[in-house]
Structure formats: structure tokens, C-alpha cells
Amino acid sequence: MTDANGERRPAGELEASVLAALWAAGAPQTPGQVQLSLGAGLARTTVTTILTRLHDKGVVDRRRQGRGYAYFPVQDAQDAHGLTARRMHSELDRDSDRETVLARFVAQLSPDDERVLRDLLASDGR
């Protein structure tokens, strides 16, 4: 996806923006309502595509409203960090060799990130 300046958006930025708009609304929103709240010059079809992808990932749920849907966030994806964590899980689930995927992920961590991960694991990740 590109922004108003024609530059490519970082991966997940648009999903995070759409999710933030849903949380800010506090009630189920149609793609048109989300589009208006974002005010970023996005086409409604783009917003609908992002909402559908978020639904497929289990990040938002939807209910029938007229001929379309109104979307709302699920409780375990409350913010952009929750969305990133769900994306990481989704990627991990795509590969049958989880041990190798995790080993390669850890091998690529910076020393600071490795320390944070060790601390989280030692404290049961809470």
C-alpha cells in the first residue's frame, strides 16, 4: 500500500491504523466509517480489504449490518503490539519446523533484544 505521497507504507502500518480506529470508535464500524475516521485518503475498498484480512487473522470480528459488515476488535488484539504479536504467531504457524524457525529468529536478535527475551522467559513472559 502507498500513502498520499506515493511512498510505500511499512508492513503492518495500515493494519495498525485501522485497528486503532476501531478501538477509538468503541463500537462496531463499517468500512466507510473507518475510512472517514482515518482521513488518510484511502479508498473504501482498501479499508474493506484490510478489515477482511484482520478478520481472517482473528484480530477483528464482524456482524452483519445491512448488506455488509460492521467490524470490531477482539479482546486479545487491543493495540498495535497485540497485532504484531499475532502476526508473529501466524508466521510461526505457517512452518512445520517450529524449532528451526525459532532458532533462526533468536539467532538474529540484537544483544539487547536477546536480553529482554531471556528476562521475559525467566519471568514466565508476563
Question: pLDDT higher for 20 or 82?
Answer: 20
Reported as a single tens digit per residue, the pLDDT across 32-47 is 999 999 986 889 999 9
Please state, for a pLDDT cut of 70, what percent of the chain lies above it. 79
* Residue 1 near residue 14 (C-beta atoms within 8 A): yes
Asked whether the predicted pLDDT for residue 126 surpasses 90, the reply is no
Helix (H, G, I), strand (E, B) or coil at 78: coil
| pLDDT value, residue 64 | 96
> Cα 58 vs. chain centroid, distance in angstroms?
10
Higher per-residue confidence, 126 vs 122: 122
Q: Report whether 12 contacts 83 (CB < 8 A).
A: yes
Block residue for cell numbers 488518510: 40
Cα-based angle 83, 61, 101 (whole degrees, multiple of 5): 35
Q: Find the mean pLDDT for residues 14-27.
A: 88
Per residue in 51-96, pLDDT tens?
Answer: 999 999 888 999 999 999 999 998 755 566 666 776 777 777 778 8
Q: What is residue 77's three-state secondary structure?
A: coil
3-state secondary structure of 63: strand
Q: What does each C-alpha distance from 30 to 45, 118, 123 come to in angstroms?
A: 12, 42, 40
